[in-house]
A and B are shown apart, each in its own frame.
Chain A
Amino acid sequence: RPRSEPPLCPPGPGGVVVPRAGLKKYVMPPDYSGIVFPEKTKLKFMDKVPAVPKVRREPRQLRDIRGPSREATDFTQGQYGILALGGGYLHWGHFEMIRLTIGRNMDTKTMFAIWRVPAPSKPVTRKSLGHRMGGGKGPIDHYVTAVKSGRLVVEVGGRCEFGEVKPFLTQVAKKLPFPAVAISRDGLQQMRQEEEEKRLNNQNPWTFERVVTANMLGMRKYLSPYDLRLKGRYWGKFFLKHRV
């Protein structure tokens, strides 16, 4: 919208206002003073199989996908990153995709990237194709890392703006097995603030949390004991962003 004349001159005939140029506002260049570059600016290569491969086959334990993440929820070194908005497993193919895409698109002189997820360590078994049920647990097929919602996958930083970094971060985020977005520090803070505001100015007197904690109408019969903690925002591995 063009900047209109301040109320000094009334508009001329026909309501025509000729916009004038005012004082030029010089934008200060961004301040990159507090940025520490790690030794290797590119993403480290992640092994397919850990150095000591696991012998004992582990149970599935899908609870490492369920619910909000407790680790790697905030930025450490970088300014921009990919935030997971759902739970899922990342295997070596995903890691390679992330490493190569980011390595291809970023400028090693001015930017750096760091992993916020560990290398795959959880063994996943698969039975060979075409066999009937039974015959014991299958052998280990590959390794994965579990990612819960609200966790950062990679962080990117350096002397760069969000606009430069966003295209390839969104490109990566779309290819991940769970919904993810590219965000900056400010974006994350704003997201949390908006959630908080939403929670506070909710006009609905009945909230999931309230109903569950008081066990109104015996609803806990149909809900899981984990819903006390998850408060209706998580269902399985999915994160319901639109809820309260």
Chain B
Amino acid sequence: AAAAKMAALSGSGAPWRRGWLPALQFVRRGSKAVTRHWKAMHFQRQKLMAVTEYLAPRPAVPPRCLPPRKETLEEDNGYVRLLRRQVEEVFRDNRMIAICQYNSMPGEDMVMLRHYLRKHNIEVKFVLNEIVRPVLSQSKYKNLLPLFVARNILLVSREAKAKEMLRVLKGVPQINLLGACIHDTILSRQGVENFAKLPSLEAAQGQTVGALALLPSQTSSLLQRGSAHLTALLDQHIRRLQAGETGSPAEPAPAQSSGAH
């Protein structure tokens, strides 16, 4: 092949003789297409490979300068759903829900606390903030959200026994009351104390009934005041007459007084 080329070049006139196809000449020289070693590429091919290389996209703002986008796990496993349902039930069923800060307590103290509170029908519930916060934010208890920060426990009960709860909690320094939601009313610590000082429902009802019934109870005495006054005056008069006339017969005087009625 090389000899043919040399002959063509050294021949007379132009080196491109008729019938000499350059493509065939390229095929005869060198190795086959598939080789064990890395076959050297033609320079034009090398240039083509260099030109057609991959260029990665370069956005105007590099992604590391942007705030990191958190890939939220949308798995929502059944355990989380169960816990959320439990929290919703707690908020629905109980009348009084008190949120307390919980500092670590010794185990036996915790058991004793639970026991005392159980006697007053108050339950102690441990909740995880990451579950309670979404539940609350979608319910009507949005204003309780700032309380669910750091470790806390819930004291829940059906009746609102704030006085007993405060008494028990006073004896436990590790639990601090943050706030409460009693009968769908959000109260602060002060509000809970005030609520505890209030008389019980029956007493309050009795007081209200008494206050309302005060005026009607006076009505009958008001109406009878005139005749009662007269009766009293007459009685007094009779007694004076009796005291004055000890010897005279008492018949006409009582007859007179009974006739006067």
* A contacts, CB < 8 Å to B: 6, 8-9, 20, 22-23, 25-26, 62-63, 65-66, 87, 198, 201-204, 206-208, 211, 219, 221-224, 226, 232, 235-238, 242-244
Binary flags per residue of B113-148, CB closer than 8 Å to A gives 1, else 0: 000000000000000111100000000000000000
CB-nearest residue of chain A relative to B131?
A23
Q: Kindly list chain A residues whose C-beta atoms are within 8 Å of the C-beta of B129.
A: 8
CB-nearest residue of chain B relative to A61?
B34
Binary flags per residue of B48-83, CB closer than 8 Å to A gives 1, else 0: 110111111110000000000000000001011001
Verify B149–A8 contact, CB threshold 8 A: yes
Verify B48–A204 contact, CB threshold 8 A: no
Our count of residue pairs bridging A and B at CB distance below 8 angstroms stands at: 83
What 6 A-B pairs have minimum CB-CB distances, sorted nearest first?
A: A62-B34, A203-B55, A204-B55, A222-B44, A208-B52, A222-B42
Say yes or no for B35: interface residue by CB 8 A criterion: yes
Q: Kindly list chain B residues whose C-beta atoms are within 8 Å of the C-beta of A23.
A: 79-80, 83, 128, 130-131
Verify A62–B54 contact, CB threshold 8 A: no
Q: Kindly list chain A residues whose C-beta atoms are within 8 Å of the C-beta of B18.
A: none
Q: Could you write out 13 A-B pairs with CB less than 8 Å apart?
A: A9-B149, A23-B80, A23-B130, A201-B56, A201-B57, A203-B55, A219-B48, A221-B44, A232-B49, A235-B38, A236-B38, A243-B49, A243-B53
Say yes or no for B211: interface residue by CB 8 A criterion: no
Given A22-B128, A26-B77, A222-B44: A236 touches B54 (CB 8 Å cut-off): no
Verify A236–B55 contact, CB threshold 8 A: no
Select A238's contact among B38, B44, B53, B79, beta carbons within 8 Å. B38
